[in-house]
Structure formats: C-alpha cells, structure tokens
Amino acid sequence: MRSKVEPSVVEKSLINHSDYLSGEVISASATDVSGEAVITAEGRLVEYTYLVIATGHTN
C-alpha cells in the first residue's frame, strides 16, 4: 500500500533474483514438472539440479 502513496518505495522493494542466485533464472509458466526437468508453456525442456518455484511471480 505504501508504494501507492510513495512510488519511490516500489524501486526499493523489487528483488532481482539473479543478484543472489547462481545459475540461470528462468521466468516461465510450467506445463509439467518431474524430478529432473520442467517443460515450459513454450515447450522448452529445462533440466535442473535444484528447482525454485516462485508462485505468483510476474514479469
């Protein structure tokens, strides 16, 4: 709510995940997730060792 009143707060609250995560950050909708890979809505097969799912994230 504060960002609606004070827009400069938005810039301070945004987190760039690539600043603290090593590896590749992919922002996409998933159509299938298994123990080794994810298939994105675009049909891309992404294999992983560790998977972080950020529900509600938008670009």
Q: Which amino acid is at 39?
A: I
Q: Which amino acid is at 42?
A: E
Q: Which of 10, 9, 12, 15 is nearest to 52 (CA)?
A: 15
pTM of the model: 0.57
DSSP 17: G
Question: What confidence tens digit (pLDDT) does each residue in 2-58 have?
Answer: 556 677 776 777 777 777 877 887 888 899 999 999 999 999 999 999 888 877 756
Distance CA 17, CA 24 (A): 10
Q: Which amino acid is at 5?
A: V
Under DSSP, is residue 18 helix (H, G, I), strand (E, B) or coil?
helix
DSSP 53: -
